Structure 1
Amino acid sequence: MTPPPLLAAAGEAAVSSGRLVPAALVGIAVIVVLITQLKVHPALSLTLGSLAVAAVAGMPMGDAIDSFTKGFGSTAAGVGILIALGAMFGRLLADSGGADEIVDTIVGRSSTRTLPWAMAAVGALIGLPMFFEIGLVLLMPVIFLVSRRSGLSLIRVGIPALAGLSVMHGLVPPHPGPLVAIDALNADLGLTLGLGVLIAIPTVIVAGPLFARLAARWVDVPAPKLFEGRPATEGAKRPSFGVTLATVLLPVALMLGKALADIFTPEGNAVRTVLDFLGTPLIALLIAVLVAMFTFGAGSGMDRQAISRTVEQSLPPIAGIILIVAAGGGFKQTLVDTGIGKLVADWVQNSGLSVLLLAWLVAVLIRLATGSATVATVTASGILAPLVTHLSTGETSLLVLAIGAGSLFFSHVNDAGFWLVKEYFGMSVGQTIKSWSLMETVISVVGLALVLLVSPLVA
């Protein structure tokens, strides 16, 4: 006997729902094993993980490929160009000597007692437009030099700078992680940027200068005899501190201006229309790069060929990042199209568990398993994307920040950043865990606490 259509549909839905959770777990497990055990590139791992999710969930492979390519393309279009522009800006800042100018000016005006605080400010400021790895390499000579000249522990000086870099990397756009989460969750970039900076400042203070006091008691290592001096390029000059600072903060000011205009001016207002255009991430970063070509490039004595070479050299290092981010978008779209995200959303609604806490926990688990903050962010964003239909604009921005905080939790041996810090600082694995890994954990926990604290105010 043929069952009634409604009953048949209900049975198919029940079977489908029963396969969704195993599909999500299998997909994440595939990604984790491929990255951690088989050392497969994260972009390939995310691609194979997406196909695994679709296969276990019962999605036709043709539809699975369509979902993945749709998510890959939309994410690359929405985020890839922003990452590329951010890389161009960061390289111009570094090659012009503007980053050195910021560092030397702030550190030169600090006493021995305030140096850790100054280093935290330097790390945060340099970290605003730069990727973590680039900022780390850039700051190492300064960290070593300040430690040797001041007589302060390398940990006492270095941890605050690393905290500034890491917090900006995890919480504040235009870094890849926050941008991906903003794109996946349809969050307001200006509001997320403002809340991100608001939460980042106290987080840097706690995980930087304050935590460094404790970490310096547990780990005592001398500054390595590296970077004794950095030869200046003949004929080169640095842009001034004021010009450098203004250029660095220009895209931030444009994006915040858009957010404020959207809040305080009526729709259709001429000022709001202009600020909405200028504050669009693509336009804000494009303007910043064009301005930097003059203030950083021409301002430091570069000719047109040198500026072009700097911009060109900024792109190859971030090709892999763009691929990972785009593949993460494909994975997210697969999760959405199979209905897994909706299943998680329904479970969260009925569980009474805080959405922000859940977002943090999901990101923490993926971060611990894969060692990648970016993979943790894109995967958690995909899983939690369906929840935003029930959230306000402010809550959606806080969801982005909760995921970002979770993505920084306890960096350990499966994280490239762990080994980068270990080797530069000349520490053992144990010393790196007691300093760098715990610092990352403090950032993650304090970031979550502040997100939860701010939540009632923006709901």
Structure 2
Amino acid sequence: MLGEIWPIISVCLGIIVLLILIIKFKINAFISLIITSIATGVFLGMDLNKIIGTVEKGMGHTLGSVAIIFGLGAMLGKLIADGGGANRIADTLIDKFGEKYIKWAMIVASFIIGIALFFEVGLVLLIPLAFTISKRLGISHMKIGIPMAIALSVTHGFLPPHPGPVVIANELNANLGQVLMYGIIIAVPVVVIVGGFFIKFLPKIAPTAFEKEIDMSNIVADKSMNKEMPKFSISVFTALLPVILMLFATIVQMITGHQEEATNHFESVVYFIGNAPVAMLISLVFAMYTMGIARNRNMNEIMDSAAEAIIPIGMMILILGAGGAFKEILIDGGVGKTIEHMFTGTVMSPIILAWLVSALLRIAQGSATVAAISTTGIVLPLLQASDTNLALVTLAIGAGSIIFSHVNDTGFWIFKEYFGLTVKETFLTWSLLETAISVFGLVFILILNLIV
């Protein structure tokens, strides 16, 4: 019996080790994650000669997928901030919505942008804007940044063209149009409830997170305060250019039905410029002109901004890589398979089962996408003898995959580092909010299941 559940116990032991290293001994998160990854591999009984290889593979895979995007995105955001674009957008939003409703402005903007951008990219792009607004209004960066992050997280978990919903729909043979339609119906109230109302309780739950002041100099700059700021339209277009490029490629894919690969030269070009790293690079070059040269800034100033943007994310990138190493240890150590066996053959409702298994996989190994994709193989046998709406099952898996972001999730460390929080404060804010999104998402899915 103990042998059957030992992988789960090993995960718990690994997480305990990580928390002790970070909270008790104050060891840097990167070092702590590497130590924990190796220790967890030992707990899981992995071949000692393969543990380091797994750590290297996990770190390399994670950094290979996010480092380029993160670096280019950070530079783009810094150029927009230093060139006055962020201040122009902030001024316009404040003027149109007023200080009282600025939170809703961030929610709407983040939701729209988040439909086309991965969570990490959207966060990198919008952080300078959120922090600029909080600085100009003299309010906590958390009150502006959290609604933004919530909207991005909801779109990542519920809406195509994000990888989770698209791959799940394909595996379950669900209609992608229905997934998008039902996803919007569910995502909108979830964002409103969690981002608009639920967060009002956070200052009472984690008061220190809202009271602290962080150094925003590397993210928000005042270099352009005494210069004429760019127009609102060009500022927004510069910020949204990667969204436009990626969204255009996605629309072409959906229209042609050629989502796997291009079938002609036009599609090849569109898919190329719509690829996230390429879209970010094109947008960065464009920003060098609109937020640099057009603002009478010389190339040395522009490159200084680009270089300064990398400084605050250097350690973050290492932490993300270490988080990927921990995740890879859990996957290669057989944790996912153990959870799969626990629920094989159950007679539970497919929607609830899909959410529960996805949630457990998410908690165990950290990646929302891995949790979502892994869950499809478990629920497929049940769906063959059920008339459950496949689009809703797809969304249930997506909802489960974003529950309780914690120390083995790269999003946890991204949020912690950007917002200058302690591990405890991140648990009391981000982890709690992700859980609320997941639970409210399931509630609305079950309600919609009674209607459709």
Normalised by the length of structure 1, the TM-score is 0.68
Query: Cα distance, 1:306 vs. partner?
Result: 0.8
1:38 to 3, 13, 25: 25
2:92 to 105, 114, 117: 105
2:76 aligns with 89
* Cα 1:31/1:350, change in 2 over 3 Å: farther
2:316 aligns with 321
Query: Cα distance, 1:209 vs. partner?
Result: 4.4
1:332-354 residue CA offsets vs partner (Å, 9 max, x unmatched): 22122222221122224445453
For structure 1, the 5+ residue unaligned runs are: 1-13, 145-153, 367-375, 423-428
Q: Does structure 1 retain, via aligned residues, the 8 Å contact 2:81–2:128?
A: no
Cα distance in 1 for residues equivalent to 2:52 and 2:201: 51
Query: Cα distance, 1:196 vs. partner?
Result: 13
1:164 to 143, 147, 162: 147
User: What are the residue-to-residue correspondences of 1:224-239 with 2, within 5 Å?
Assistant: 233=224, 236-239=227-230
Cα distance in 2 for residues equivalent to 1:333 and 1:224: 34
* Cα 1:216/1:290, change in 2 over 3 Å: same
Q: Which amino acid aligns with 1:28?
A: I
Q: Does structure 2 retain, via aligned residues, the 8 Å contact 1:203–1:446?
A: yes
* Cα 1:397/1:100, change in 2 over 3 Å: farther
Q: Which amino acid aligns with 2:375?
A: L
Confirm or deny that 1:355 pairs with 2:354: yes
Secondary structure at the residue paired with 2:40?
helix
2:300 to 305, 309, 315: 305
Query: Cα distance, 1:400 vs. partner?
Result: 5.8
Q: Which amino acid aligns with 1:406?
A: F
Q: Does structure 2 retain, via aligned residues, the 8 Å contact 1:30–1:49?
A: yes
1:262 aligns with 253
1:274 aligns with 269
Query: Cα distance, 1:218 vs. partner?
Result: 12
1:225-271 residue CA offsets vs partner (Å, 9 max, x unmatched): 999xx976486332211111112222122222333333220431444
Q: Which amino acid aligns with 1:130?
A: V
Q: Does structure 2 retain, via aligned residues, the 8 Å contact 1:170–1:408?
A: no
Query: Cα distance, 1:396 vs. partner?
Result: 7.2
Secondary structure at the residue paired with 1:44?
helix
- The runs of 4+ residues in structure 1 deviating greater than 6 Å are 122-127, 185-188, 194-197, 212-220, 223-227, 380-385, 391-398
Cα distance in 2 for residues equivalent to 1:161 and 1:35: 27
2:66 to 74, 79, 91: 79
The percent of aligned pairs where both chains have the same amino acid is: 22
For structure 2, the 5+ residue unaligned runs are: 115-121, 170-175, 381-389
Query: Cα distance, 1:131 vs. partner?
Result: 6.9
1:95-115 residue CA offsets vs partner (Å, 9 max, x unmatched): 111111111012112357655
Q: Which amino acid aligns with 1:79?
A: V
Secondary structure at the residue paired with 1:407?
coil
Cα distance in 2 for residues equivalent to 1:307 and 1:406: 39
Larger radius of gyration: 1
1:339 aligns with 334
Q: Does structure 1 retain, via aligned residues, the 8 Å contact 2:69–2:277?
A: yes
Normalised by the length of structure 2, the TM-score is 0.69
- Select between 317-326 and 256-265 the one with higher mean Cα deviation: 256-265
Query: Cα distance, 1:437 vs. partner?
Result: 5.5
1:426 aligns with none
Q: Which amino acid aligns with 1:76?
A: L
Confirm or deny that 1:387 pairs with 2:375: yes
1:27 aligns with 14
